[in-house]
Amino acid sequence: MKFFEKVKGSQLGLPSLVLAIAVSLVASAAYAGAGKEWTVSRGDAAGTGYSTLDQINTGNVSNLKVKWMHSMGSVLSQETAPLIIDGVMYFSTSSGPAYVFAVNAETGETIWAHQPDMPTDYHSVVCCGEANRGVTYANGRIFFGRLDAILVALDAKTGEELWQTEVRPYKDGYSITVPPITVGDKVIVGHSGGEYGVRGSVQAYDQASGELIWRFYTIPGPGEQGHETWKGDSWQTGGGTAWLYFTHDPDLNLIYFGTSNGAPWGGQTRGNDSSDIGIYTNWGTAAHIALNPDTGELVWHYQMTPSDVWDYDGVNEGVLVDLNIGGSDVPALLKADRNGFFYVLNRTNGDVISAEPISVTNWATKVDKETGRPVEAPGNEFRPQLDKWARGVCPNLIGGKNWQPMSYSEQTGLVYVPTFNLCMDITNREQKYVKGTFYLASEFDLAIATPGFEDALGEYKAWDPVNQKLVWSIKEELPFLGGALTTAGGLLFYGNQSGVLKAVDASNGDILWSFRAGSGISAPPVTYEIGGKQYITVVSGRLVGPPSFFGVIGQRVIDASPTGGMLITFELGS
């Protein structure tokens, strides 16, 4: 069967396109990007992370100065992107979240602060840092998820809690770090837990009442499409969680999201312990999925990494843009996957348009455009097996790109991607499943630099998605570079784990301005305009959980800056 699958009777768009030599550059984004406000986590429904504001530009960005700052009230792994709506900034913190704040976006003065009442034991079922990646606004309400897998609605004016509902039982290993998405009268959310052997799902609730409307299981049960791709009862603990950003095409009436690793990482329980995976592709894991938001009906499913045994989560965001490829206009979905490949998919049906390595990749030689499947290196060389090590696998399980979001600039037609130059040794082990505990069935060494990149473990890449080629890059000493913001002022903004926020000429990679924020930066900056003045805001607070898995390399990240928690807003000086 083809590896990009659709449901009969669902919306199907353009026919499959073959890879062709592009004769023109990007035409336009599917959406215009954020304007004076920043109303959703990535600026627009398409997830571009692009702003049409240009008051701050390449000619004057060197004059940026701090306008105001606000404490986050917590110091662990700050990963949130604030929203700015009607002059009010809304943002969440780490550790629960410990707080959700509403502040005056011009002055930083606190309007209200909501402090969730969290259970004392939620820490034990959080995999990789106590992060929260943001809140969502719709119809006078603020929505956010908690690390105890509770979805909450607040009154946006007062911060009063309107309702809360349990999405999944946190003691079984479920948690929420993703900002929900709102469509119509629904608020839709996924969850984390792939390292605990949960069964992934996405669910929609009524915005006014919190009542469950539909639930879609990413891992198919008996009688559901793809169930035959799971060995025995392994689907019950199969992972495939949707723990990162959703995007939305209102014209097609589709929402898009990626799914995480198969669980456990050691794949011998889920299928053949070999590159000859047969039917055991483990449908629903390491995939990108399109659903009808009204009903939760599956429209298409494309799996980047079948029978995943590398922890190549497929959760990275799918950015929606319109490209001109080979003279044809294509409604595209752009995805820099953890498996090392940059994908251009047709977002109407999930067909592969192109897929090329964006980082050093040796576990697979290419992606076959006819089947959509990666072609693994021969002889199981880079596939870990039970008690058999795969050495020097590239990329590392942290991926060619991790969760930190990329940005597509409508102005340049390029995508700006925070990438890693890391490899790994990894093997599968036997492990008994115990509900609510780590379930990896894997042993690994992650402190391995990509050969030739020992002094550049992180790299910011400007990528041409039409021609699938690198335009320029900035090599960084340490990995875990922050998410991207691009603007019509010709700028790229991003931070690093040393706590340095940078403004870069998006056309050529020249660094035009920098600021030391005091703690590492993972979150993407945002921008907005009030009273005719443009502002830039970023949250600092170094990663805490993930570096601990990376040995001596991780220790260098930890040593680069202290933990912290500060929201900083900038304006142009005179």
Positions marked active-site: 311
List CB contacts of 91: < 8 A, sequence separation 6 or more: 80, 81, 82, 83, 100, 101, 103, 134, 135, 539, 567
| Whole-angstrom distance, CA of residue 416 vs CA of residue 394 | 21
| Whole-angstrom distance, CA of residue 429 vs CA of residue 151 | 35
What H or E segment, with its residue span, contains residue 560? helix 551-560
Three-state SS for 198?
Answer: coil
Cα-Cα end-to-end distance for the chain: 62
Torsion angles phi and psi, residue 122, rounded to 5: -65, -25
Q: Which residues of 352-391 are buried (b: 16+ CB within 10 A; e: fewer)?
A: bbbbbbbbbbbbbeebebeebbbebbeeeebbbbeeeebe
What is the separation of C-alpha 49 from the centre of its chain, rounded to a whole number of angstroms?
12
**DSSP summary character for residue 334:** E
Torsion angles phi and psi, residue 61, rounded to 5: -60, -25
Q: Is 497 exposed, middle or buried (0-12, 13-18, 19+ CB in 10 A)?
A: buried
Q: Find, among 41, 48, 228, 69, the residue nearest to 138 by Cα.
A: 41
Query: In the structure encoding, which two tokens stand for residue 387, read together?
Result: 């008690």
What's the order of all strands across the beta sheet hosting 407-408?
407-408, 415-420, 458-464, 469-476
Q: Using only C-alpha atoms, what is the Rg of the chain?
A: 22
What's the order of all strands across the beta sheet hosting 319-325?
28-29, 319-325, 328-336, 341-346, 352-357
What H or E segment, with its residue span, contains residue 455? none
C-alpha pair distances (Å), 278 with each of 44, 76, 131:
40, 43, 37
Residue 91 identity? F
Which residues does residue 495 pair with via DSSP β-bridges, in sequence order?
501
